[in-house]
Each structure stands twice: as structure tokens, then as C-alpha cells.
Amino acid sequence: MKEYTGYTAHFGKSDKGKTILIPWFTDFLSPFIPAIAELAGYRFVNCPRTSKTSAEIGLRYGNNEVCYPATLVLGDLLAELQSGKYDLDNAAVAITQTGGQCRATNYLAMIKQGLKNAGFEKIPTIAVTLGSGAIQNEQEGFKLPILKIFNIGINALLFGDMLNQMFASAVVREKTKGNSQQLFDFYMKQGVEIILQNKPEKFLELLKNTVSDFNKIDFFEDKKIEKIGLLGEIFVKYNSYGQAHITDWLRARNMEVVVPPIFDFFIQSFVNQEVNAQNGISRISRFTKMLMPLLLKFLEKRVGKFDKIFENYRFYEKNESIFAKAKYASEILDLSNQFGEGWLIAGEVASFARRNINRVICVQPFGCIANHVVAKGIERRLKQFYPKMNLLYLDIDGGMAEVNLHNRLHFLIKE
């Protein structure tokens, strides 16, 4: 590994028209991102789904002490740049930057070193952030017009979560293999069209049609299906390769894999801000104090509208509010534990237990100190509160033996 000696390619104003590659995240959200970016005036292109090649290339050119998602993200980007499909003088790469306490805030330095190691040091990098701007990155040519994309982005997110939930419950019960996947793909494409038209209201109509079509699937009525919760680090939880395809493995054994909505990850900041202000960790400005309740009201109203339609789905189950999850979590740990998935892990385990889902897998990537500390740290206390809960912590990385992973899963589903 060469020593990092600075990175001079910046995304300037003249780079606005460049093709911006982004790593694949998850099937129910990634296809929407280029469409949202197009509204914002940028040409984003998704890398293909994360694969073994991503892991190998990420390890070859990256720093192998970073967390596993960082390796995969770097590998996705480098594999695409090496594919020969792009005019490298007109290409850039982008990743999200959380701005929080996890390493994702500092991925960019590692990505730049990886780009340099692979000979792509002329490729500008972008940090996509919803907060107060990029950290440690010069990108004067990139600015997200939040007001323009906020409404459509929220609607797309809610729709994606609900579509994913319908798919997860339908795919294990369908009589004709492939029905649910067909509907999933069709409605994702419809979602992209709505985004490009920038018509958020149309998502409600789309959800109505989606629910109606999923209800029409011919299901096995007497098949014994058990639910299993899957939570943990955001990337490995929602990215099929990142989680070593354990969802497929479980589905093949008649388990319905239930994941918490990704929407919760974003709106936890309503809880976090309040907690941090109370604990003297950060201040809330007067403007934010005024804005937050309005924003919350808007979001709650929107969720209510989506939920009213979603209730008509045959296997509908209500998702508890982020405030309910925070309350359950506060019985287990202090809510200032906000690194990685932080207190969300406790809140989601509790929420699963209250829905009588007592087998839960918590996936944790190699090198993710944040999630290991929180998740392992609360294990005993969770067991005291929820004695029936059977929790399996799975460490995920590129070098793990599949047979070990499946062995552990076998024990969980047989108990």
C-alpha cells in the first residue's frame, strides 16, 4: 500500500455535467437515486449490484483495516471504473457521508487512496450529505437542492420500504415462483417514472395499485411460515451481497425475513437532536427548534397517508413509530449511544419482541467498532427485558466460511 500523499482532483463547477458513479446500496432504494439526482441536475449512475469482484478489488486497492462496507463500496466503484464503459475524463464518483461518529464520515480519504492506488487519481470525488456540507472534501461543483428533492425523496423512501415489506411477505408464500419479483421490478420502474415527473402525490396512487396487485398473488394458504427479524448495520442489512445472501438462505427455508424500514434510520435524528441537547452534547438553534416540529408534522402526516393505503395489504403489519422504539431503547441503554446504528438496535429488538418475533439476527460487519460495542454491550440487558428473545449476532466479512455462517443460522431456526 502506497502512502497517502494528497488528492488533487476536485469536483469543480465545470464538472457538473460529468457522469457520477455511485455504489449499489439496496434493491428497494438504489434504482430511485439516479432519478432523484436527475431532478437535482446531476447524472448519477448506479454501479452494478455488489459482488465478489467488489470485495476482491476493494481489498486489493483499499486499506484492509477499514470496515467491510467501506471495502465493498470502494470495490464497486473501482470495478466500474475499470470496466472500460466510461470516458474517464468525464467521470466522477460519489458516496454518502453520514457526518456522525461512525467511520463512514471518513470513508472519502480511503476511497481517494484506493482510487490513487488503482491509477484513477484524476477522478473527482463527491460526498453526498444531508447535513451541513461535506467534511474533508472540496466539491464546489456539487450542491444538493434539498428543497427541490425533499418531498419526492421522502415519498420514494416510504414507497420503497412498503414495497420491500410486501415483497418479503409475498415471496415466501407465492405459488408461482417469480410472481412477487415481477411485481417488485415493475413497481420499482413505475416509481422511477414518478420521480422523474417530480409528482410526489402520485406515489399514493402507485401504492394503492401495488397493494392491490400483491393481494392478487396466488398464495399457499396453509404453508407454515415463520418470521425472523434482521437488523444491524445499515449497509450489510440491506445489501444482498453485503449480508452474504442470508435473506435468500432463510427464505428458502420458509422464513419470512422482516427488516425495519430504512425510513427509521433517517428520522431517528428527531430523537437524537433532542437527546443531545438535553445532555449538553450539542445545541439546537432557534431556527431548528422552530423548523423541527413542522417537519415532523409533515412527515407524520405523510406516513399516515401511506399507512392508510398499506393497511389493505393482506400481510400488513404496522411499524411502530421511532419515538416508541426510542422509548423501549431507553430502558436498555442511554440514547446518546448514536454511533453506528446505536440505540436503534435496542429499539428494534424490543419492537420485534412486542410483535412476537423472537428470533432476531443482528448483522455486524468486520471492522465496525460502533455496532460491535453497542450490540454486544446490550445483549445481557436485552435478555433480561425480553427473555424469550433468541438473538444471533453474525459477524460478516469477505473471508468468512459460508458453512460456519449457515451452521449458526441452522441453530437459530431449529431452536
Q: Is 410 in a helix, a strand, or coil?
A: helix
Cβ distance to ligand SF4 smaller for residue 66 or 163: 66
Residues 278-297 that bind ligand SF4 (CB under 6 A): none
Residue 102 in the binding site for ligand SF4 (CB under 6 A): yes
Cβ distance to ligand SF4 smaller for residue 70 or 244: 70
**Whole-number Cα distances in Å, 362 to 155, 198, 333, 377:** 28, 36, 17, 13
Residue 114 in the binding site for ligand SF4 (CB under 6 A): no
Contact predicate 400/55, CB 8 Å: no
Q: Which residues contact 100 (CB under 8 A, 6 or more apart)?
A: 338, 339
Q: Look up residue 328 and give its three cell numbers.
A: 423501549
CB of 273 to ligand SF4, least distance (A): 19
**Whole-number Cα distances in Å, 216 to 185, 213, 315, 338, 401:** 16, 5, 12, 41, 40
CB of 23 to ligand SF4, least distance (A): 12
**DSSP H/E element including 380:** helix 379-385
CB of 92 to ligand SF4, least distance (A): 21
Spatial separation of the C-alpha atoms in residues 236 and 102, rounded to whole Å: 15
Contact predicate 18/92, CB 8 Å: yes
Residues 352-381 that bind ligand SF4 (CB under 6 A): 365, 368, 370-371
Cβ distance to ligand SF4 smaller for residue 263 or 306: 263
Residue whose Cβ sits closest to ligand SF4: 102
Spatial separation of the C-alpha atoms in residues 354 and 134, rounded to whole Å: 39
Q: List the one residue out of 207, 244, 247 whose CA is nearest residue 229.
A: 247
Residue 72 in the binding site for ligand SF4 (CB under 6 A): no
CB of 201 to ligand SF4, least distance (A): 34
CB of 107 to ligand SF4, least distance (A): 7
Spatial separation of the C-alpha atoms in residues 301 and 303, rounded to whole Å: 6
Q: Which of 15, 161, 174, 233 binds ligand SF4 (CB under 6 A)?
A: 233
Q: List the one residue out of 318, 370, 307 whose CA is nearest residue 343.
A: 370
Q: Which of 62, 69, 191, 232 binds ligand SF4 (CB under 6 A)?
A: 69
- Partnered with residue 230 across adjacent β-strands are 361
Spatial separation of the C-alpha atoms in residues 220 and 202, rounded to whole Å: 32
Cβ distance to ligand SF4 smaller for residue 180 or 338: 338
Cβ distance to ligand SF4 smaller for residue 153 or 342: 342
| Total interface residues for ligand SF4 by CB under 6 A | 13
- Partnered with residue 181 across adjacent β-strands are none
Q: Which residues contact 320 (CB under 8 A, 6 or more apart)?
A: 351, 354
Q: Which of 67, 134, 188, 255 binds ligand SF4 (CB under 6 A)?
A: 67
Residue 237 in the binding site for ligand SF4 (CB under 6 A): no
CB of 31 to ligand SF4, least distance (A): 22
Cβ distance to ligand SF4 smaller for residue 160 or 340: 340
Contact predicate 116/7, CB 8 Å: yes
CB of 279 to ligand SF4, least distance (A): 21
Q: Which of 104, 156, 378, 412 binds ligand SF4 (CB under 6 A)?
A: 104
CB of 246 to ligand SF4, least distance (A): 16
Residue 235 in the binding site for ligand SF4 (CB under 6 A): yes
Planar angle of CA 36, 299, 184, nearest 5 degrees: 50
Contact predicate 366/68, CB 8 Å: yes
Residue 108 in the binding site for ligand SF4 (CB under 6 A): no
Cβ distance to ligand SF4 smaller for residue 69 or 124: 69
Q: Interface with ligand SF4 by CB under 6 A: which range of 13-21, 40-48, 67-75, 209-217?
A: 67-75
CB of 87 to ligand SF4, least distance (A): 31
Planar angle of CA 188, 175, 204, nearest 5 degrees: 30
Q: Which of 114, 191, 340, 342 binds ligand SF4 (CB under 6 A)?
A: 340
**Whole-number Cα distances in Å, 126 to 40, 101, 139:** 14, 19, 6
Q: Interface with ligand SF4 by CB under 6 A: which range of 101-109, 115-123, 297-305, 318-326?
A: 101-109
Tell me which residues touch ligand SF4 (CB under 6 A). Answer: 67, 69-70, 102-104, 233, 235, 340, 365, 368, 370-371
